[in-house]
Amino acid sequence: MGMGRSVAAAPLHEAPPQLGGAPPGRVGLQAGDEVRAWVHVLGQAPVDVADADRVDLIGALERLKSAAAAMQARLAAAMADEHVARASGERARTQAVRSVAGQVGLARRVSPSRAMTFVGLARLLSHDLPETLVALAAGEISEWQAVLVGREAAVLSSADRAALDAALAPRLGPLGDRGVAQEARRLVDRVDPGAVARRVRRAEADRCVTVRSAPGPAGCAMARLTATLPVAQAVAVYAGLRAHAEAQRNQHGDQRGIGQLMSDELVARLTARPGAAGSGTAVGRVQVEVGLVMSERSLLRGGADPAVLTDDRGRTYGHVPAFLARRLVRDADRAWLTRLYAAPGSGQLVTMDARRRAFSGRLRRLVVWRDQTCRMPWCEAPVRHADHVRAHAAGGATALANAAGLCEACNYVKESDGWRAGVVAAQGHVIEFTTPTGHRYRSQPPPAPGHHPRSLDEHVELLAGDWDDECDVGRGGAA
């Protein structure tokens, strides 16, 4: 929910012609107004025209998308450069880029981490890859192709990037995505033979393990655990699991499929417990703590409200169907769970906690459960901080009503100079973020588990009255 405001005036090397009569070399308020007018025109334009015109227009719009991306890059780079130039010290410069990326991310409706990548690319294009930027502005390459060039160029020195840019730009037009990446890499290796080794080191430094919901209908029950590893390690892990699975089948007559045996063994080894072997259920007994937030109706009375799955740090992993949640409770060695919305309470805990300085324990978990992902619009990262919306130093209470779940990056951004936040509507817990340029964005938590849409005030009351119902659930049952 962005508030309509134009982009700030930014000096540019070259302005496209016919931008609302803006003087050459500057794009001002008129440009923003005119772009908004185009958006309106495109939303209304008729499509009952000849095929030749349709194809022409599709082509022209593709170039417009590229030109828009180039303009966004130039604006973002100019903004970041100015704020970096004004900052003194490495720490202040990093913070300046974070703040600019936060604002650009909100304007582009993407997460802060994607915005950081975009601002980095924008500065790379503006400083070191001017010909590539020109190709983008002219609609000769797509934004994604500019990203591909930027990725390859990132391992080079500034001077070598200029050499790459000059050699590569004239060849880009006819190439597809893969061709652009291959040609860029070939030229990088020619410009700087040491680049290969640096690329490998960078890639190895980026090794990681991530988890996210499986795509499609399986997403409510399955998740994808992805390990991005040095190639030899990845092959070794895979071969080890496969050899184990084949041995199980061939020597021990295990009837499970190779894929099932491999995944069960992966879980068994990493959680230090036997996997699903012999349990007769697809759900293994995990030793680590997995939390389930579900209504008691779903837990005890066969209700259908989905549950929210959390890990031992309170990060949430989306909704799981009620029957699956009941099975997890039954099969897990230990799971704590909290009855939500079971009985109305007094709200006393929220008041009681108001003198505390930090969100901790159950109150922190409550913030994480309510918000589920970072409250910065379009961020969607897991919550890492339960943050005071109104700072504690400024009299803000340590209470659910004054709390926002934020990710690490957004917490930094929100603390930057010129950023403000406030709860503008208690009903629905609407938080408004105001950026240094005065743009405002609002955010609301997702609907909570439970079958009745209730006001947040009712939720808070119900939750607050429910503290003593948190319980450990043994292996055999759920009560």
Which positions lie near Zn ion, rule CB under 5 A? 374, 376, 379, 381, 407, 410
Query: Tokens at residue 49, please?
Result: 């025209």
C-alpha distances (whole Å) from 312 to each of 111, 195, 260, 288, 330 are 25, 41, 26, 7, 18
Nearest to 184 by CA among 206, 167, 162, 208: 167
Q: Select 282 or 381, whichever has its Cβ closest to Zn ion.
A: 381
CA distance 92 to 112: 18
Q: How far is the CB of 441 from Zn ion (least distance, A)?
A: 12
80, 123 in Cβ contact below 8 A? yes
Residues shown for the chain: 479
C-alpha distances (whole Å) from 476 to each of 36, 134, 295, 336 are 61, 66, 19, 14
- DSSP letters for 199-244: HHHHHHHT-EEEEEEPSGGGGGT-EEEEEE--HHHHHHHHHHHHHH
Helix axes 51-86, 130-137, angle to 10 degrees: 140
The 8-class DSSP code of residue 279 comes to T
Q: Select 155 or 376, whichever has its Cβ closest to Zn ion.
A: 376
Three-state DSSP class for residue 474: coil
Dihedral angle, C-alpha 74, 80, 85, 88, nearest 10 °? -170
Q: How far is the CB of 102 from Zn ion (least distance, A)?
A: 9
Q: How far is the CB of 407 from Zn ion (least distance, A)?
A: 3
Q: Select 295 or 443, whichever has its Cβ closest to Zn ion.
A: 443
CA distance 363 to 353: 8
Q: Select 148 or 374, whichever has its Cβ closest to Zn ion.
A: 374
Which residues have a Cβ under 8 Å from the Cβ of 63 and sit 6 or more positions away?
138, 139
**Residue 38 amino acid letter:** W
Q: Select 378 or 467, whichever has its Cβ closest to Zn ion.
A: 378
Q: Beta strand 208-213 with 26-27: parallel, antiparallel or unpaired?
A: unpaired
394, 406 in Cβ contact below 8 A? no
Q: Select 114 or 273, whichever has its Cβ closest to Zn ion.
A: 114
Q: Select 15 or 379, whichever has its Cβ closest to Zn ion.
A: 379
Q: Select 376 or 456, whichever has its Cβ closest to Zn ion.
A: 376
Q: Select 379 or 399, whichever has its Cβ closest to Zn ion.
A: 379
Q: How far is the CB of 304 from Zn ion (least distance, A)?
A: 31
Q: How far is the CB of 384 from Zn ion (least distance, A)?
A: 8
Q: How far is the CB of 414 from Zn ion (least distance, A)?
A: 9
